[in-house]
Structure formats: C-alpha cells, structure tokens
Chain A
Amino acid sequence: MRFKVLFIMTQKDYLKDISEIKEIMNRSTRFISLSGLSGILAGTYALVGGFIAYKLLVGYGYGDGDGSMLPLGILELVLIGIAIIIALLSIVTAFFLTKRKAKKNNEKIWTPASKQLFSSFFIPMITGGIFILLLIHRGYYGLIAPTTLVFYGLALVNASKYTLSQVKYLGLLEVALGLLSLYFFGNGLLFWVVGFGGLHIVYGALMYFKMEKGK
C-alpha cells in the first residue's frame, strides 16, 4: 500500500517534469503573446480603407454608379497613401496590444524568439513592399492586390515557426486568396478586402475568444 502511494507520487512528479520540459521548449522558441484583438482591429481598418478605395474607384468604371473623378495621378497617390496608412496603423496597433498582452503574460517583448519572429516576418514583407513599388513604377496596377496577398501570406507562414502555430493557416489562406485574385483578374479590391479585412477579423476573433477571454 505504502509502496503504491510512493509510486503514484513519483509518477506525478515525472508527469510534471514532462509538461515543464514542453513548456520551456515552447517558451524558448515561440513568442506567444500576439494579440488577437489587434487582428480584429487591423481587419476593421482594412474594411474601412477598402470602402474608401471603392468609393474613389467607382467613377472609373469599377463597379457601377458614378463617383467623383480625381485625376489619375492623384488617385494613384491617394490609393497608395490609404494602403500605407492602413499598414502603419495595423502595425502600431499590433505592437501596443501585443506589448500589453506580453506584460499580462509576464513575457518579455524582446526575446530571442520575438526577434526571430520579427525578422522572419519582415524579410518577406519588405521584399514584397519593394516588389510592389517596382510594379507600380512599371504600371502593373492589376498585380498589386495579388502580390500583396501572396507576400503577406508567405511572411505569415515563415513567421509562424516562432509564434502561435495557427498563424500558418492564416498565411496559407492569404496565399490562396492572392493566387485566386490573379486568376480572377480585375477583382483585386474585393480579394484584398476579404484577405486583409475578413480573414483578419475572423482569425483575430477566434484567437481572442480562445486565448484572451478565458483568462
């Protein structure tokens, strides 16, 4: 009897050992405090931006109805401006909400894992950014939406090794949307809004309810 109690106790200790090993392996390689709420907000910015862009484009025969006509050169600058503002707002929001969540989780924001996450995300993103600026320079406007989605998706897949593994699926969906938007050429804005707006909101909400609300 005493022998059995002793055995169960040591067994429990070993179970604890195993779970601790797993936890440390995870914590030392993955930065898990990414905020789900920031995904929802980034998606909302994208929807608002997409709506403004749609209103601006209507006058040029995109969709139906008539809107105001801006000179083409200015329209181009305005659209690029909107995209850059959305990207910056999303990054700033993600940074602050993630910082808040890391503090709550007692996780430092600048760890070897988060540095890896940062560089594995931004190398494809910056490459994509330059690629798109060159596309604009050459006048391939129709390729902007597919290219943004594909590069963003690949950046997520690449970065998912260093954070929540679900980020990988978001990335793969973005890549798929990017390829589809090239196949169904001419609907770039629609795909862009679904990819950056819809997917972010759905993903952010799933993460938020799964991880943040429970705590």
Chain B
Amino acid sequence: MKNIIQHINKLFDHRVRLGIMSALMVNESVDFNTLKDLLGVTDGNLASHLKALEKVAYININKSFVDKKPNTKYSTTQLGSLEFKKHIAALERIINNQT
C-alpha cells in the first residue's frame, strides 16, 4: 500500500489544485477569471491555491494590464508539468493495480 502511493504528489491531492494544473497543462496560459469560472471557486480560495503552487515553482505568474485593468495569467513551469505527469502516471498505476 505504502509502496503504491509513494509517487502520489500530496500537493495535487486537492480538487482545486488538481483542476488548476489540468487547465494549465493544455493551455499556453489561463487568466484568473477564466480559472475561477472553470473551477467554480471563490476568489480567495483560488488565490490561496495558486499561491501554494507558485511557492513550489510549479506555475508561473505573469501580471499585465488589459484596458487598464489588471490581468494575471498563469502557466505551468517545466517542473510543474513534469510533476503533474508523474502524478498522473502514479494514479494510473494505482487504478490498474486493482482491476
């Protein structure tokens, strides 16, 4: 049991962080409001999870202004996408092991 879940990344073991990474993996970049709509979470909740992912350098933050309004875009770092792929592979192993 321990052996099987050792590659599970604890950081991705949360719905919102998993959702953020999923969206960023398949897009060049995604802005804050799009992420919010996509995942159906509050501003504060999303911001705290983004911060957690930024802290471990899994995502990049790119702040700019569009029509004088702040527009923050997020994208995965190389490390982040590597870790995410490892996590998915681990999930697959667990599922395959028991069917």
Contact = CB atoms under 8 A, between A and B. Distances in A.
B66 to A, nearest CB: 13
A25 B23 contact: yes
A114 to B, nearest CB: 11
A27 interface: yes
Contact of A29 (B18, B27, B98): B27
Interface residues of B, number: 21
Contact of B91 (A14, A27, A111): A14
B91 A112 contact: no
Interface in A1-56: 3, 7-8, 10-11, 14-15, 17-18, 20-21, 24-25, 27-29
A3 B38 CA distance: 36
Interface core residue of A8, A20, A24 (most chain B CB under 10 Å): A24
Given A17-B18, A20-B18, A20-B19, A28 B26 contact: yes
A8 B1 CA distance: 12
A28 B23 contact: yes
A210 interface: no
Contacts of B22: 20-21, 24-25, 28
Contacts of A17: 18, 91
Interface string B23-38: 1011100100010011
Contacts of A103: none
Give the dominant DSSP class at A's interface.
helix
B34 A8 contact: no
B88 interface: yes
B61 interface: no
Interface in A89-120: 108, 111-112
A111 B34 contact: yes
B69 interface: no
Contacts of A10: 5, 94
A24 B1 contact: no
Contacts of B1: 3, 7
A11 B88 contact: no
A20 B15 contact: yes
B38 A21 contact: no
A17 B84 CA distance: 13
Contacts of B26: 25, 28-29
A169 B12 CA distance: 37
Given A28-B26, A112-B27, 7 more contacts: A8-B98, A11-B95, A17-B18, A18-B91, A25-B22, A25-B25, A111-B34
Question: Top 7 closest A-B pairs, CB basis?
Answer: A24-B22, A28-B23, A21-B22, A25-B26, A14-B91, A29-B26, A24-B19
14 contacts: A3-B1, A8-B98, A10-B5, A14-B91, A18-B91, A20-B15, A20-B18, A20-B19, A25-B25, A28-B22, A28-B30, A29-B26, A108-B37, A112-B27
